[in-house]
Structure 1
């Protein structure tokens, strides 16, 4: 496998690094508070970075999200691309792609997703959804939200429709999150109406959720679970890439601090304990990056990548938490300043750790998937 970016991917990453570096400054982020930087979002869309995701693939998106993570830029880039652009492009009908993709490409529509699905939303015979999702990232910015019902069938819900309520929720990182409350809200099934749903319960929808590929049968709940699993695997990969950038940014700040701050007449970076802590953080960051790259590359090559996506999620959760803690600790007393830029990386790292799932849960799911694949 070759993770070397293509010319298009490299150009997009360079442009993203420039835009995030110029606009996602500490001063602008502080002024934005817990809200989204609307000007930055418009700039990213105007530069064609959102629309480019369809061409550069999931690996290209991971590269762009690394640049966002380095600066902890407050825009719904990851959510809108993975739950909107890629989900519709990969699984929508021709009519859905023609109608939904143009506004997602230019940023006039913003998508997010209620993933992983832990809410048990219900659908009636008319395609109306009811239930509560306690927390959805970037929901306050979204015009569309991708949700899964109890059978893991995917539905696109418009946040402005009747029966849809958004209740703001503050999270560890400023992700413009909200609680999603649906009361017989109209939904549009991703992929079209499809065949008649099997009235029998799905044999094991959770087991299908981590495969990253469609099941053999394209009918009933198993088809819905396969699509849900594919979107979930893509989102885990994308957010692992975001975590790689968050960790790289935290470590870069720690290195800059320890090489310029002196103690007893010499830089802190000459202390062996500091060197070892920074080296461990570097290795953890590289592990997150390479596992995210592998999962994304396999997606773009049309290969099964459910196990790789879970591996990337595990590293991003477990190692990501270690890295952002190390970044803060290496700043000494300065790291305790809530207004210091490194604290923002700490908050993002912890939020991504929570969002991807605690390491033990992800590891258990990975083990179950490997056992299932080994028995086939």
Structure 2
């Protein structure tokens, strides 16, 4: 495939670099110095700047005030955001809005999407399920009662839940409910403060505030439920690919920090970067980043273009997740090693990058699980 970006995609990345200039990753208290989350809310000032730069509506069509771009453009912007650890729900809100546009119908789109593109309506996604190990769609049950849906269940680790206006919740219909389709997955738009919905605070590995969303007979109007088949699978793939973009941007910034530090730190009268053991480790991490990048753009292209080929898009997303999960861990571990004790100093931002990297690694899941699923996929689709 051709990895050359279009002018519009490059313009989005350039605009993002301008918005994120001056954003400091250590501008909020360190998790090591607080008993709870690093902050109560996401960075609203930065969110407003993203809205004014039209970066919250990249994937939306012109009828909603958007640019009509694809997943590659979003990933380019996410890559820049991770370099400064931008504390905004850019991935979740953009992906949720794109799913509503693609699968939700005109009436729902007209009510939500223009406001989401302007930053007036903040969306997030409950993608972790009850435990973080099972499918998110299995954690909440949905049943139809006339013109409303009734939801029951629990979703853990919902990002930016306390700052979002609506949470996109995947839910599974009863296996015996023939009226709405047995065992189908729908996407319900839930307001965290509505009757029957409750949040319990959780704190992520990165120190950011998450929410456990409990739903007890929550009633959602049928117009606020996306029933189209394949909507959750598409949204989940976009979220995973966007997380890979975050891992890539974070890894690139960490490797640059390591290069700058080892180029200045001297031992025996020479910069430690000139030592072969240091150079080889840094080179290995550079290779990791290039593999993360190549697999990311392949996955983003497949999602954005709808191309399927012999294997479904899941195969490319799985490969990108394998490289991102393993790669970002190796990059930050090597950075900590080459920084020595200085890397653990909470006055130096590397510790926050390490914490965010661990959060991203856990969000992506273990590489071995995707390797197994990829093997099953290849067995089911012989290439010969």
TM-score bin (small chain) = 0.7 to 0.9
Query: In 2, are the aligned partners of 1:157 and 1:188 still within 8 Å (CA)?
Result: no
Structure 1 gap ranges (5+): 195-222
* Greater strand fraction, Structure 1 or Structure 2: 2
1:139 correspondence with 2:161: yes
Cα distance, 1:375 vs. partner? Answer: 9.5
1:72 correspondence with 2:78: no
Query: In 2, are the aligned partners of 1:172 and 1:348 still within 8 Å (CA)?
Result: yes
TM-score (norm 2): 0.84
Q: Which position in structure 2 is the counterpart of 1:316? A: 324
Structure 2 vs 1, CA of residues 237 and 193 (structure 1 numbering), >3 Å: closer, same or farther? Answer: closer
3-state SS in 1 of match to 2:167: strand
Query: In 2, are the aligned partners of 1:93 and 1:190 still within 8 Å (CA)?
Result: no
Query: In 2, are the aligned partners of 1:59 and 1:300 still within 8 Å (CA)?
Result: yes
* Greater helix fraction, Structure 1 or Structure 2: 1
Moved more, 253-262 or 339-348: 339-348
Structure 2 vs 1, CA of residues 137 and 20 (structure 1 numbering), >3 Å: closer, same or farther? Answer: same
Q: Which position in structure 1 is the counterpart of 2:265? A: 261
Runs of 4+ in 1 over 4 A off after TM superposition: 188-194
Alpha-carbon distance between aligned partners in 2 of 1:81 and 1:370, rounded to the nearest angstrom: 31
String of CA shifts for 1:181-233, please: whole Å, max 9, x gaps: 11111235689675xxxxxxxxxxxxxxxxxxxxxxxxxxxx64x22211111
Alpha-carbon distance between aligned partners in 1 of 2:226 and 2:207, rounded to the nearest angstrom: 36
String of CA shifts for 1:155-202, please: whole Å, max 9, x gaps: 2212232111111111111433111111111235689675xxxxxxxx
RMSD: 2.1
How many residues matched? 345
Alpha-carbon distance between aligned partners in 1 of 2:74 and 2:29, rounded to the nearest angstrom: 26
Q: Which position in structure 1 is the counterpart of 2:344? A: 336
Within a 5 Å distance, the mapping from 1:122-133 to structure 2 comes to 122-126=141-145, 127-133=149-155
Query: In 1, are the aligned partners of 2:244 and 2:320 still within 8 Å (CA)?
Result: yes
Alpha-carbon distance between aligned partners in 1 of 2:322 and 2:223, rounded to the nearest angstrom: 28
TM-score (norm 1): 0.86
Q: Which position in structure 1 is the counterpart of 2:369? A: 361
Structure 2 vs 1, CA of residues 372 and 189 (structure 1 numbering), >3 Å: closer, same or farther? Answer: farther
Within a 5 Å distance, the mapping from 1:1-376 to structure 2 comes to 1-22=1-22, 24-30=23-29, 33-34=38-39, 35-54=41-60, 55-82=68-95, 84-116=96-128, 117-118=135-136, 120-126=139-145, 127-150=149-172, 151-187=184-220, 224=229, 226-304=230-308, 305-374=313-382
Structure 2 vs 1, CA of residues 115 and 26 (structure 1 numbering), >3 Å: closer, same or farther? Answer: closer
